[in-house]
């Protein structure tokens, strides 16, 4: 599959072209960015005038990755910083110093350059991220790439004085709603991201990094308890059935094991895991990733639990029930079968206990984990021993 370039790479290439214009009066039809591994890439650029300011833009190409920012325009402008004080050209100047302290990034390697954001770049409002609170969400690797792109031009042309680099992504405010930014406390736009400068299609690692970051932020904010849900179904169940705000939950997608391990490493003491049976029954069988491409043993696990329950109750039709469950297409259909046979309660208690035991193993038994699994038709199917108590604790925290 075709790779693409991160917003950070696009911003650096645009800043390089903008620097040539600001320092040497040269209009470039392409921009250059140096990737963290040392490779150089060239990307086509365009220009747009806004009053006295010239913006250079790169249209992002995310390759074959379904990135929400694919096709958006990343802009950069370079211009002299505000008037300097008597310290002379070598000084920063009071106005520049004030901005640097408030919302401008500086660079030890290029102390004559400053970096800030603009429309469509989100502003950090919560601690725990790699950008300070109150600053634009321009992450460390992209920052270094942008400074390097403009700094090398500055030094090549023997420039003097202080300059500010501005980055904007006009579509960012609208795109932010399709990202994790609102959950991370990044307001008003998207982040300029990238660690390698390259977008690798369908990167699971990127999603896991985001989940880990949200857990880290909550721990940094003083929380030692988490609610984990796989996705929309779990969030809706929290809100409608348990009376808990979805803002309290961290989405872990299919990465149940990774999320529990990350929480344990961060020092989280309690986890309430709420999920639809269709996802969590796979955990009962030991699945660390619940995506269907990693295997689907839902019916086999339910049939095994039904066989165990039937044997405990000395049911004569246990084998027949097991075969019927194995023939079901959905977990809802399997639950209906168990309901007719009077086995739903026993089987769900077994499934829930297995899920909890597996999650405790992932958390190295350092975390109290309570599990609630539900069905869209039958509601709550199973709850671990102290689940009700933990739910009540979360309800009380909202008062």
Residues 6+ apart with CB under 8 A from 50: none
> What value does the mean pLDDT take over residues 201-207?
71
Higher pLDDT, 9 or 24: 9
- Model confidence over 19-63: pLDDT tens digits? 999 998 888 999 999 999 999 999 999 999 999 899 999 999 988
Return the C-alpha torsion angle 215, 384, 284, 304, nearest 10: -170
Give dist(CA 244, CA 236) in Å, integer.
10
Higher pLDDT, 85 or 125: 125
Residue 128 pLDDT grade (very low, low, confident, very high; cuts 50, 70, 90) = confident
Max Cα–Cα distance, the chain, nearest Å: 96
Q: For 60, left (φ over 0), alpha (ψ -120 to 50), or beta?
A: beta
Give dist(CA 312, CA 320) in Å, integer.
16
pLDDT of residue 201: 67
- Model confidence over 363-373: pLDDT tens digits? 999 999 999 99
Q: 4-199: what fold?
A: CbiD-like (3.30.2110)
For CATH 3.30.2110.10, the residue range(s) in the chain are 4-199
Give dist(CA 16, CA 309) in Å, integer.
68
- Model confidence over 219-254: pLDDT tens digits? 998 999 999 999 888 988 998 999 998 888 999 989
- Model confidence over 267-296: pLDDT tens digits? 999 999 999 999 999 999 999 999 877 777
> What value does the mean pLDDT take over residues 303-315?
88
> What value does the mean pLDDT take over residues 135-155?
96
Q: Is the pLDDT confidence value at 210 over 90?
A: no
Q: Is the pLDDT confidence value at 91 over 50?
A: no
Q: Please, what is the angle between helix 7-24 and helix 140-156, to 10°? A: 20
Average pLDDT over all residues of the chain? 89
């Amino acid at each position: 599959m075709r790779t693409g370039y991160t917003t950070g790479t696009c911003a650096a290439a645009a800043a390089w072209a903008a620097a040539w214009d600001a320092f040497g009066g040269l209009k470039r039809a392409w921009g250059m960015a140096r990737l963290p591994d040392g490779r150089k890439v060239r990307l086509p650029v365009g220009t747009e005038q806004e009053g006295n300011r010239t913006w250079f833009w790169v249209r992002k190409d995310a390759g074959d990755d379904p990135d929400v920012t694919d096709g958006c325009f990343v802009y950069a402008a370079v211009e002299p910083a505000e008037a300097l004080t008597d310290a002379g050209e070598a000084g920063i100047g009071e106005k520049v110093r004030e901005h640097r302290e408030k919302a401008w990034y500086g660079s030890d390697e290029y102390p004559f350059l400053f970096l800030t954001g603009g429309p469509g770049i989100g502003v950090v409002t919560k601690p725990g991220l790699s950008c300070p609170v109150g600053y634009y969400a321009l992450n460390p690797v992209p920052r270094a790439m942008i400074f390097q792109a403009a700094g090398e031009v500055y030094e090549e042309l023997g420039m003097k004085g202080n300059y500010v680099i501005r980055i904007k992504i006009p579509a960012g405010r609208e795109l932010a709603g399709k990202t994790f930014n609102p959950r991370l406390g990044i307001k008003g736009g998207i982040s300029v991201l990238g660690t390698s400068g390259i977008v690798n299609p369908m990167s699971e690692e990127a999603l896991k990094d985001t989940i880990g970051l949200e857990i880290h932020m909550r721990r940094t904010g003083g929380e030692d308890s988490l609610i984990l849900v796989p996705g929309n179904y779990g969030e809706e169940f929290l809100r409608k059935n348990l009376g808990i705000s979805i803002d309290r939950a961290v989405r872990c997608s299919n990465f149940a094991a990774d999320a529990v391990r990350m929480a344990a490493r961060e020092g989280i003491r309690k986890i309430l895991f709420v999920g639809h049976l269709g996802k969590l029954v796979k955990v009962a069988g030991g699945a660390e990733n619940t995506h269907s491409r990693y295997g689907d043993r839902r019916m086999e696990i339910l049939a095994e639990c039904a066989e165990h329950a039937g044997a405990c109750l000395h049911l004569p039709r246990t084998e027949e029930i097991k075969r019927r469950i194995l023939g079901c297409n959905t977990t809802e259909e399997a639950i209906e079968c168990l309901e007719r046979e009077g086995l739903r309660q026993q089987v769900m208690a077994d499934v829930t206990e297995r899920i909890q035991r597996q999650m405790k193993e992932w958390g190295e038994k350092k975390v109290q984990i309570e599990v609630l699994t539900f069905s869209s038709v039958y509601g709550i199917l199973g709850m671990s021993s102290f689940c009700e108590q933990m739910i009540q604790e979360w309800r009380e925290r909202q008062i």
